Amino acid sequence: MNLELLTKLTQTFGPSGYEEEIREVLRAEVVAFADEVRVDPLGSLVVRRRGKEGGKKILLAAHMDEIGLMATYVDEKGFVRFTSIGGVRPTNCVGGRARFADGTLGAIAVEWREDATTTPALEHLYLDVGATGREDCPVKVGDPAVFVGPLEARGRRLISKALDDRIGCYVLLEVLRQLPETPHDIYFVFSTQEEITLAGARTTAFRIDPDMAIAVDVTVTGDTPKSLPMDVALGKGPAIKVKDRGMIAHPLVRDLLVAAAEKAASPYQMEILLYGSTDASAMQLVRAGVPSGCLSVPSRFVHSPSEMVDGDDVENSVRVLLAALPLA
């Protein structure tokens, strides 16, 4: 794996609605392999590889936004209250750090509570950015921030913030680089705002009007102590979605991914996700409907500063997609 590239992807600032920096990083990576590059009105990066006349239009989507925080109030002592951008859990915040777009770093702390045995809510948390008062606080209401979590490799396991879904972006970049001539028009979409509204993929899919759409995202696992029972584990191959909270995968796409995994001699797992969804749930509903599905990279500790994936699952995700496109 290209850890230098993955480090660049995961460490670039890009919470939902503020994807400009990560979009420019991705744009620089795709231009040499694309027939067409454009930015849609809501900021999604669309990369086209032309196929033969009469081929299908296949859309592959990975969201480039990450979860984050947004300042809502600065008190007289310079402490910053915040709300969530996307699915931020308070238990994943306390003791962590957040960084704003201008580089300002803050420690996330929890206020004193009479009953400290209960789980704190977001309104019990605050950021200490080292200010002594409201006047010298560099953070203003409305400023976005992201978790701090550097990329670390532990054998084949990778730990970082924002692997949801920069690892999906990495998979699409590798597919784009390795893709031979194709009978189909392939649209690689690096979408915006997946963590809050799915807006980027929804509007881009409407514009492209594809014959088929596949999201590439992460999914949780059931292989940690006392985890919610789930038949997905790290290192056992990419997960082919059957169902999640927002959709049932179209059987055409689901079966295509199964056939591709078997053709590529890749291990794979079947995924039923009880909570959460992906860009696929939005793309399937545009126009008259788009057959949609999802290929998921198993990830532990999703929506935390220390998400974890397995390098073999990532590389096998690339192999499965490369095998799937000629079969579509």
Give the tokens for residue 271. Answer: 């995924």
pLDDT grade for 317, boundaries at 50, 70 and 90:
very high
What pLDDT does 89 receive?
95
As a whole number, mean pLDDT of residues 9-37 equals: 98
Q: What angle separates helix 163-178 from helix 20-30, to the nearest 10 degrees?
A: 20
Would you say residue 115 has pLDDT above 90?
no
CA distances from 37 to 69, 112, 176, 217, 227 (A): 30, 51, 13, 22, 42
Would you say residue 244 has pLDDT above 90?
yes
Domains of the chain in start order, with CATH, are 3-66+161-327 (3.40.630.10), 68-147 (2.40.30.40)
As a whole number, mean pLDDT of residues 225-244 equals: 96
As a whole number, mean pLDDT of residues 83-103 equals: 96
Would you say residue 81 has pLDDT above 90?
yes
Q: Tell me 248's DSSP state.
A: B
The terminus-to-terminus CA distance of the chain in angstroms comes to: 27
Would you say residue 147 has pLDDT above 90?
yes
pLDDT grade for 181, boundaries at 50, 70 and 90:
confident
What pLDDT does 172 receive?
98
The pLDDT tens digits for 126-140 are: 999 999 999 999 999
Residues 6+ apart with CB under 8 A from 93: 108, 122, 125
Would you say residue 207 has pLDDT above 90?
yes
pLDDT grade for 53, boundaries at 50, 70 and 90:
confident
Q: Where are the alpha helices (DSSP H) in 45-129?
A: none
What pLDDT does 114 receive?
82
pLDDT top residue among 299 and 54: 299
Q: What region, left, alpha or beta, does residue 303 occupy, with left being phi > 0 and alpha being psi -120 to 50 degrees? A: left
Question: Would you list the DSSP string of 187-211?
Answer: EEEEES-TTTT-HHHHHHHHHH--S
What pLDDT does 152 receive?
97
**Closest-CA residue to 145 (of 13, 42, 20):** 13
As a whole number, mean pLDDT of residues 276-296 equals: 97
Radius of gyration of the chain (CA): 20
As a whole number, mean pLDDT of residues 69-93 equals: 97
Q: Distance (Å, rounded) from C-alpha 292 to C-alpha 140? A: 40
**Closest-CA residue to 290 (of 171, 206, 190):** 206
Burial of 223 (0-12, 13-18, 19+ CB in 10 A): middle
What pLDDT does 118 receive?
87
Collapse the DSSP code of 217 into the 3-class scheme (helix H, G, I; strand E, B; otherwise coil) and give the result. Answer: strand
Percent of the chain with pLDDT over 70: 100
What pLDDT does 328 receive?
86
What pLDDT does 212 receive?
98
Residues 6+ apart with CB under 8 A from 103: none
Contact 100, 144 (CB under 8 A): yes
pTM strictly above 0.85:
yes
As a whole number, mean pLDDT of residues 158-179 equals: 98
Q: Distance (Å, rounded) from C-alpha 14 to C-alpha 17? A: 8
Q: Which helix (H) or strand (E) holds 252?
A: helix 251-263
Contact 149, 305 (CB under 8 A): yes
Q: Which residues are catalytic?
A: 194
Would you say residue 304 has pLDDT above 90?
yes
What pLDDT does 32 receive?
96
Q: What region, left, alpha or beta, does residue 237 occupy, with left being phi > 0 and alpha being psi -120 to 50 degrees? A: left
What pLDDT does 116 receive?
81
∠ CA 248-84-173, rounded to 5°:
55
As a whole number, mean pLDDT of residues 146-170 equals: 97
CA 254 to chain centre: 20
What pLDDT does 276 receive?
93
**Average pLDDT, rounded, for the chain:** 97
Give the tokens for residue 30. Answer: 């795709």
Would you say residue 54 has pLDDT above 90?
no
Give the tokens for residue 213. Answer: 């759409």
List beta partners, residue 183: none
